[in-house]
Amino acid sequence: MKASELRTLSVTELERKGAELRDQLFSARIRRATEQLEDTASLGRLRKDIARVETVLTQKREAGK
C-alpha cells in the first residue's frame, strides 16, 4: 500500500484501515506462534503498512489544526 493511496482517504477511513491492519497483524502473530504462518515476511509488511497509515493520519490531523 502506497502512501499516495492513503492520502486520498479520509481520516475516518484511515482509522478504519489502521484498525483492520492491526487485526491482521494480531492474527498473523498468532499463526506464527502456532507455526501456521508460511509467509513470515508478511509481518514486516503489515507493520510498515500500519506505520504508513499512522503517518498519513497524523499529517492529516496536523493539517486540520
User: Where are the chain's structural domains?
Assistant: 3-64
pLDDT, tens digit, 9 for 90 and up, residues 5-34: 999 999 999 999 999 999 999 999 999 999
- The model scores a pTM over 0.85: yes
Residue 15 exposed, middle or buried by CB count within 10 Å (0-12, 13-18, 19+)? middle
Question: Would you list the DSSP string of 9-48?
Answer: S-HHHHHHHHHHHHHHHHHHHHHHHTT--S-THHHHHHHH
Please calculate the CA angle 5-6-9 and round it to the nearest 5 degrees: 105
Write the class of the CATH domain 3-64: mainly alpha
